[in-house]
Structure 1
Amino acid sequence: MNQSQNPNDNPLNVTHPQAETTHFGFKTVGKAEKQQLVANVFHSVAGKYDLMNDLLSFGVHRVWKRFTIDCSGVRKGQSVLDLAGGTGDFSAKFSRIVGADGRVVLADINESMLQVGREKLRNLGVVGNVEYVQANAEALPFADASFDCIIISFGLRNVTDKDKALQSMYRVLKPGGRLLVLEFSKPILDPLSKLYNFYSFNILPKVGEVVVNDAESYRYLAESIRMHPDQDTLKTMMGAAGFENVDYYNLSAGIVALHRGYKF
């Protein structure tokens, strides 16, 4: 015998909230999906990441990184978190600066990048005071007030929830500690911006195709740079996460910016 049903009992009539979305380059994807998509990019490029950095920046990334180290204020015996540290350029430098009594943690969410970094540092003879941790920036697996300095270099733009990540970084910093964010940003000169856009979307993927056999990953990297907050927006975000005395330095006319904030 047929019985009438209450519409509220019919699952076809139940509405479900939309899954939270974010951007993966210029595409809109679910937040849960982005992490895997980014992982696929870096699994693909990890083996030739350092080579591509040199090719695509014409070696200038080394100047940006030296400036960042000079601004870090890191001293012997301190603890440093090299977050999204990838192939370990900063970890190698900070390992020498902090010395045997100091501590450097090279952390990256991507296993392939972390493996390349571990092998690179061991080949350089960097042992003893460097640890390797696979970690998500949004939920860092460290105790409160663990580090004197955190640096995240060309990694924040790939994080799904940047606000959550900044709050997590703030938590694990010691009072008096500082965060340095080195990241591609917005050129401050209009002619340079146009040239940079052409280079990013026309040249960069072609080089990726030739060297890594992966144009799509480098197309994503170009798009992710455009979707990243500009200098003043990121400064505001850092302040909202609790950081004080936040400032930034435009490098190469704003193609890259170094943001620095303190925990007091």
Structure 2
Amino acid sequence: MKVFISDDQEPQRLWLNDIIAAQLDDLHFNYELASAWQPADVLATVKASTGPNIYFLDIVLQREINGIQLASKIRDYDPDGFIVYVTIRDDMMPETLSAMTTPTGFISKTNMFDRDRFIPQVRQVLQVIKKRLAKLQAIPEPTLTIHSGALLLTIKLTDILYCEKIHGLRTTRIVTDSQAYIVHKNLNTIKAQLTTAHFFNDFQSYALNLDKVVTVDFNKGHVNMLNGDCLSFSRGTIKKLRAYYQTQE
């Protein structure tokens, strides 16, 4: 998680950096304090990172866009991020709502440089963010759920190495870290549930968890999996996997 403090007044920004970092440490956040504070730099950093992040934004930024406009653009890349306005312009609060930036809180600059009054405001907002983060992290891990006859099978997606179509039958073999299952389901039906995690679904007869791939020999068409299985593909088929990896470089 990155923490951004965007304020064009350097003395205020540096003071906020110290105050906010101290409270983040005291509340045991796992974070990185971002150096970017100008709108363009903030957005460039957000695009290259994974959220949710925390943003302390001055509404009246004397830059190409103000804090509210910056928050609106942030929402395009980090919809679950926590936006906190730090401002002297309390009268602009309604505008932050009409812009649908979904702020987590407002901190008034009236008490800027008064540690005894300012720190409790920062701490209160961070405590709210910490509670909401705990709920986000408590979301159940994605699973594959299969009803096959009398069998109800639920497998964590992260435990699956690959799924293999059994030719001639409307049946699929699901290989996990610990065992394999034969289910009477079409592979394409199973692939429809493999949209999260790191699955490659472009092979006609296989779905691969790329996090479980150890090595790929594109010349021989061999894919070696974490459990020791070696899957073989034709040169024409393996090209699809090569093309995917090339897009990730």
User: After TM superposition, is the score higher than 0.5?
Assistant: no
Q: Report which of the two has the higher share of helix.
A: 1
Larger Rg: 2
TM-score, normalised to structure 1's length? 0.27
Tell me which of the two structures has the higher relative contact order, counting C-alpha pairs closer than 8 angstroms and 6 or more residues apart: 1
TM-score, normalised to structure 2's length? 0.29
